[in-house]
């Protein structure tokens, strides 16, 4: 058996974590031969509920679960950790403006970034799920100057997965047949689900769907899927978000499928003209525990406009928390 790895999950008593933690402990994150130690962070008032979750994890007697730490101290939660899934965030309260939400989260993610910088494994892989995910990832990254910025990522895999299923259902195929979909930009309603490079069962996706459906139906359905889940379920996406978080880390750690790519919010190096340093969702290929932005894709005018609109939103989010970002 391999030596255990440490996996930190924040917001560990919340609803996404209630799906996520049990699947991590069952081996769905890194494989059935990889023991894990769960390091669970919550705010103080939620520690009792977190204790209950830890008791249930104990009661599953998962063979791969090598230990559980529960804490309200980020310095403890991130100690020596190899993987961090930052799920906990401040939800928008009544009367809260967008800027207030950004600032409240900036406070949380700057503390966690510093704790990662000071205590985590130097090879840590960080995934931010808590919204606004891309900007929260940027704040954590900027507060961890000793860690390579490439190690901080934001989750757009749920959007990617949503896009795969919508395209598969429209064309009468399965998700296994759909390749090379892209989510560009922010995990928000400005995200751009791009099918121009996608194939379905080996055929060019744009030959199988018409532009009117793509623009009026597909793009808004993927962009607004989170709101549609809330309207239907009375609560936001939880199990699907947890599943996408597992997919994101597993692909990053173990590699993407041959002949395909995934979407990840990653540190922009200026590819496709996107401002360097933003955490922006790109098509990426993963290999040997690292990711690379897919290069050389042709971008038409329609796509360019949408990619820039979501870039602009990310620039505005960053500018709204500028004073909390170290130089
Ligand atoms: P919940 O409100 O059920 O759980 C969040 C938990 O985080 C709570 O238990 C809370 O006590 C904890 N928390 C708050 N501040 C914390 C801090 N400073 N340190 C540690 N824990 C803290 O929300 P849930 O439904 O689990 O969603 C979590 C986050 O995921 C939200 O921000 C949500 O908007 C975001 N989502 C992101 C998605 C994505 O694709 N990137 C999709 C799903 C989801 O909407």
> Tell me: the pLDDT tens digits for 80-105?
999 999 999 988 778 888 788 899 99
What beta strand segments (E) does 156-310 contain? Answer: 178-179, 182-184, 192-194, 199-200, 203-204, 262-267, 279-287, 290-293
| pLDDT per position as a tens digit, 49-60 | 999 999 999 999
Q: What is the ipTM of this complex?
A: 0.98
pLDDT < 50: residue spans in the chain: none
- CB-ligand 1 contact for 10 (6 Å cutoff): yes
Q: Residue 96: what pLDDT?
A: 81
Pocket test for ligand 1, best of 11, 155, 226, 265 (most atoms within 8 A of CB): 11
- CB-ligand 1 contact for 42 (6 Å cutoff): yes
Helix (H) or strand (E) run with residue 5 in it: strand 5-10
Q: Between the CA of residue 269 and those of 130, 178, 255, what are the distances in Å?
A: 23, 27, 21
pTM: 0.98
> Burial code of 67-98, b = ≥16 C-beta within 10 A, e = fewer?
ebbbbeebeebbbebbbbbbbbbbeeeeeeee
* 187 among known catalytic residues: yes
> Residue 316, Cβ neighbours under 10 Å: how many?
13
Q: Residue 3: what pLDDT?
A: 97
Pocket test for ligand 1, best of 88, 235, 248 (most atoms within 8 A of CB): 88
The DSSP-derived string for 36-95 is EEEEEE--GGGHHHHHHHHHHHHHTT-TTEEEEEEES-HHHHTTT-SEEEE---PPPPTT
Whose tokens are 């509920």? That residue is 49
- Cβ(47)–Cβ(271) under 8 Å? no
Distance of CA 83 to the CA centre of its chain: 13
Atom number of ligand 1 nearest to Cα 154: 41
């Amino acid at each position: 058996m391999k030596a255990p790895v440490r996996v930190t999950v924040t917001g560990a008593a919340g609803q996404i974590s209630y799906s996520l933690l049990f699947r991590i402990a069952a081996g769905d994150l890194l494989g059935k031969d990889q023991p894990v130690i769960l390091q669970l962070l919550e705010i103080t008032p939620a520690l009792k509920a977190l204790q209950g979750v830890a008791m249930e994890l104990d009661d599953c007697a998962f063979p791969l679960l090598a230990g559980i730490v529960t804490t309200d101290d980020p310095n403890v939660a991130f100690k020596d950790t190899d993987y961090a899934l930052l799920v906990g965030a401040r939800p928008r309260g009544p009367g809260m403006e967008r800027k207030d939400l950004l600032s409240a989260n900036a406070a949380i993610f700057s503390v966690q970034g510093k704790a990662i910088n000071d205590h985590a494994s130097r090879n840590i892989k960080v995934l931010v799920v808590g919204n606004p995910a891309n900007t929260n990832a940027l704040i954590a990254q900027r507060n961890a100057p000793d860690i390579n910025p490439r190690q901080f990522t934001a989750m757009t895999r749920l959007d990617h997965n949503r896009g795969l299923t919508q395209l598969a259902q429209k064309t009468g195929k399965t998700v296994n047949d759909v390749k090379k979909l892209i989510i560009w930009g922010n995990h928000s309603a400005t995200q751009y689900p791009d099918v121009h490079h996608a194939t379905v069962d080996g055929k060019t996706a744009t030959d199988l769907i018409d532009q009117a459906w793509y623009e009026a139906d597909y793009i808004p359905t993927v962009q607004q899927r989170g709101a549609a889940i809330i309207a239907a379920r009375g609560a936001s996406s939880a199990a699907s978000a947890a599943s996408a978080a597992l997919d994101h880390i597993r692909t990053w750690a173990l590699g993407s499928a041959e002949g395909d790519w995934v979407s990840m919010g990653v540190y922009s190096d200026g590819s496709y003209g996107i401002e360097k340093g933003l955490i922006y969702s790109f098509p990426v290929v993963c290999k040997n525990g690292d990711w690379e932005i897919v290069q050389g894709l042709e971008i038409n005018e329609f796509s360019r406009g949408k990619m820039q609109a979501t870039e602009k939103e990310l620039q505005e989010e960053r500018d709204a928390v500028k004073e909390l970002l170290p130089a």
